[in-house]
Structure 1
Amino acid sequence: MPDTPQKDWPDASRLRIALWFLGLLLAIVLIFVMRIAGIVLVPIVFAVLITLLVAPLDRCLKRLLPGWLAWGAHLLVMLVLIASLTLLFGALYFAAQQAIEALPAISDEIDALVPGQGADDREQTSELVHTLREVWGSAGSRLGEWLVGKATSIATGAATMTGAFLSALLIVFFIVMLALTELPRWSAKTADLLSPRDLKAWDTMKDVIAMRLRRFLLVRTGIGLIQAALYAGWLALFGLDLLVVWAVLTFVLTYIPNLGSLISGILPVLYAFLALDPVTAFWVGVGIFAIEQVVGNLIDPLLQGHQIVLSPTVILVSLLFWGWLWGVAGAFLSTPMMLCLLVACLHVPALRPVSLFLSNQDDLESLDAALGR
């Protein structure tokens, strides 16, 4: 009887290529789903990160309060959150209102920057100079109108998004409140499902993530306050208005590494150029650059130390990716989420190489030491 033909199975290389291709397709689908579901996922991610941040405070308050008042710990934690966010967004709203009132007023200053087109000038200049002057005048006027219109639109949007913000904030608060009350039960479930060794690794990973997030938040808050005060003081020397706007903007953008400090530095210089004169704008820029160098190279490393172990390239790429995925919320979430991902990968043996490539360390031993393992 003739042998029946055998089916050719793919070799290891073909199987590996197929798996990589399947993984790529799954990643694309996942990114698409995350982008579509951003309105749901963003509040959940914020709530999870906030829960990790405030859980130690909640546990501390529980120990201080009598057993029958343990629920009061959750209430106190939520009051602290509400007070902090009310202060922050109250300052943002006030700054946006100031910007709305002041930005249209610089249209005259922008028009003054456009070279004159008088009859005497036409008689004394060549046709080429005339043409260049007209082009510059048209471009400068349009650029100024675009800048003012864009800035006014952003400020108006920031001032009128209160309803949407409060709705999202309410969802986050409810999730955080429920998560704080459920934490003991989740811990019991985890202890029942995992072996003692895996449970210890899980608890260590969770504690390291929470500690890194708290350190990041506290240091960025301190850096933001220092930088905002220095910016406002320097701009006040030149009589530049909207000091509250620049201070609040600088403080908020501090939580976005690299790109945030660039934006907060360029905007007041551009405003000084439009509202005052180029020479003043130059010296404003020199001072802001000096402040940025002192804060970035002296104060920030002194306070931050080696807490942020992410590679600068990873920080920038993740900022662009999460900003594209979830907008402004994604930009603020990018660094905390990458920190969580790095720590999580470091505690999974198969994913430790991924954590090394995400970090700014040369080897896994250095990374373990930087994270206190």
Structure 2
Amino acid sequence: MDQDMDKTPDFSPAGRFLIMAGALVVLVAGLRAASYLVTPFLLSIFIAVLAASPLRVLRRLGLPRWAAMLVIAGVLTGVGLVVGTLFSDSLNTFNQRLPSYQTRLLSTASDLQDWVESHGLELPDNAMSSLIDPPRVMGLMRAMVSGFSTILANALLVMVTVIFILLEADGLPNKVRLALRTPEESIDQAQQVMRAINRYMALKASTSLLTGVLVWILLTIIGVDFAPMWGTIAFLLNFVPTIGSFIATVPAVLLALVQIDLGAAFMTSIGFAAINLTIGNFVEPKIMGRGVGLSTLVVFLSLVFWGYVLGVGGMFLSVPLTMALKIALSANPQTRPIAILLGPENQAAAAGDAHGSAEDSLWVEPAQSLDSGR
């Protein structure tokens, strides 16, 4: 009787699948409900992973731990203050100039309607003004800038969390060794995740910085207001795969149209397209080499999924999170097929070749043993 009670229930494959699917649904729902807490914490982890390398360099140069931490904290604080001040000042100036922007947009809409009617197409009165709707366009631009300001408002919480993570980093391997039954395997897997994320984030930050600087220079040459802010937004949105560069283009083009004229808006859109195509198609593949280890479809789906679960922050972290998930899945033989599906075609082909050679070895080794027996 006791032996029957001690037995672990044995579920069929369909039962196990349903249990795992139910657990996944509960996990996703929980993450989405707690996204306002989870997102800053995840962002802190990724920033800490990036900051760990400079921290180690400072330690090797002979700085004590507290001094190295002070330098890292000072740099993070300085960057946060500069970016926060930039957005705050730009938003205040934008609000002051908003009436003139709306007037200019109405004038542009009227000129556009006159141009259309001059080519023989009759339109109702104020058709273009109703279509463009200046208050809605200006409200959209202001909401976008305010949204970035809200994200930056959580920077203090993120920075403090980063510092505490870095303080705990040295003792974490010992804690893992004491807590887990297979600590070395878990530590190796964690180090693999950290190396992959560190490499991706560092290279992506480099290309994003180049994008932001080029956008800043472009808009300064054209004469668009708030060029430093738009460059910063282009830098940040370049971390969002697939659609980030397009989102960064829209408000700058609208402001060029409102502030200057249609020609400036056209030059701005062409300049953005040239920058994004050059960096996205030539610079990033050149410096990233083998890429992020994810297929293009998976990158897009991860953007949609993590954006749904964690909001805007999840869109920024979609690629690193999916990379970490892929590495974790590849470490387990039962979930390795899922990791292969997440990767690009060349990795799947390599895995198939390795699997085929392993099967061939099962036939070769017995034959060799028979030959040696003879």
TM-score, with normalisation over the residues of structure 1?
0.78
Query: In structure 2, which of residues 277, 285, 296 is the aligned counterpart of residue 312 of structure 1?
Result: 296
Shift of residue 54 of structure 1? 3.3
Give 1:224's aligned residue: 208
Kindly provide the amino acid, as one letter, of the partner of residue 111 in structure 1. Answer: L
Shift of residue 47 of structure 1? 3.1
Larger displacement relative to structure 2 (239-248 or 165-174) = 165-174
Instruction: Measure the CA separation in 1 of the matches of 2:119 and 2:257.
Output: 27
Shift of residue 65 of structure 1? 4.4
Shift of residue 72 of structure 1? 4.2
Query: In structure 2, which of residues 112, 127, 133 is the aligned counterpart of residue 136 of structure 1?
Result: 127
- Does the 8 A contact of 1:98 with 1:245 survive in 2? no
Instruction: Measure the CA separation in 2 of the matches of 1:350 and 1:61.
Output: 41
- Does the 8 A contact of 2:48 with 2:162 survive in 1? no
- Does the 8 A contact of 2:237 with 2:244 survive in 1? yes
Shift of residue 279 of structure 1? 3.2
Give 2:197's aligned residue: 213
Instruction: Measure the CA separation in 2 of the matches of 1:361 and 1:86.
Output: 43
2:340 matches 1:356:
yes
Structure 1 unaligned segments of length 5 or more: list them.
1-11, 117-121
Give 1:3's aligned residue: none
Instruction: Measure the CA separation in 1 of the matches of 2:188 and 2:26.
Output: 32
Query: In structure 1, which of residues 36, 40, 43 is the aligned counterpart of residue 40 of structure 2?
Result: 43
Q: Show the 5 A alignment for 1:170-249.
A: 172-173=161-162, 175-180=164-169, 182-189=171-178, 193-194=181-182, 199=184, 201-249=185-233
SS across alignment from 1:349: coil
Q: Work out the percentage of aligned pairs sharing the same amino acid.
A: 22
Give 1:338's aligned residue: 322
| Cα pair distance change 1:365/1:184, threshold 3 Å | same
2:97 matches 1:113:
no
Supply the RMSD in Å over aligned alpha carbons: 3.4
Instruction: Measure the CA separation in 2 of the matches of 1:103 and 1:324.
Output: 32
Larger displacement relative to structure 2 (179-188 or 324-333) = 179-188
| Cα pair distance change 1:166/1:49, threshold 3 Å | closer
2:242 matches 1:283:
no
Q: Deviations over 1:233-273 (max 9, x none)?
A: 22333322221122111111111122111111233223223
- Does the 8 A contact of 1:343 with 1:355 survive in 2? yes
SS across alignment from 1:255: coil
- Does the 8 A contact of 2:176 with 2:187 survive in 1? no
Shift of residue 94 of structure 1? 4.1
Give 1:347's aligned residue: 331
2:236 matches 1:252:
yes
Kindly provide the amino acid, as one letter, of the partner of residue 183 in structure 1. Answer: L
| Number of residue equivalences | 340
SS across alignment from 1:286: helix
Shift of residue 186 of structure 1? 1.9
| Cα pair distance change 1:367/1:273, threshold 3 Å | farther
Q: Deviations over 1:216-249 (max 9, x none)?
A: 2221222122222222322333322221122111
Shift of residue 138 of structure 1? 4.8
Query: In structure 1, which of residues 12, 15, 20 is the aligned counterpart of residue 17 of structure 2?
Result: 20
Instruction: Measure the CA separation in 1 of the matches of 2:207 and 2:251.
Output: 19
Instruction: Measure the CA separation in 1 of the matches of 2:76 and 2:338.
Output: 34
2:145 matches 1:150:
no
| Cα pair distance change 1:110/1:50, threshold 3 Å | closer
- Does the 8 A contact of 1:270 with 1:281 survive in 2? yes
Larger displacement relative to structure 2 (54-63 or 344-353) = 54-63
Kindly provide the amino acid, as one letter, of the partner of residue 27 in structure 2. Answer: L
Kindly provide the amino acid, as one letter, of the partner of residue 199 in structure 2. Answer: R
Larger displacement relative to structure 2 (277-286 or 259-268) = 277-286
Instruction: Measure the CA separation in 1 of the matches of 2:213 and 2:163.
Output: 34
Give 1:52's aligned residue: 49
Shift of residue 322 of structure 1? 1.5
| Cα pair distance change 1:272/1:338, threshold 3 Å | same
Instruction: Measure the CA separation in 2 of the matches of 1:222 and 1:45.
Output: 21
SS across alignment from 2:42: helix
Q: Deviations over 1:121-163 (max 9, x none)?
A: x9x999x93xx33261452352x2101022223434544676x
| Cα pair distance change 1:93/1:332, threshold 3 Å | farther
Give 1:6's aligned residue: none
2:310 matches 1:322:
no
Shift of residue 182 of structure 1? 3.4
SS across alignment from 1:133: coil
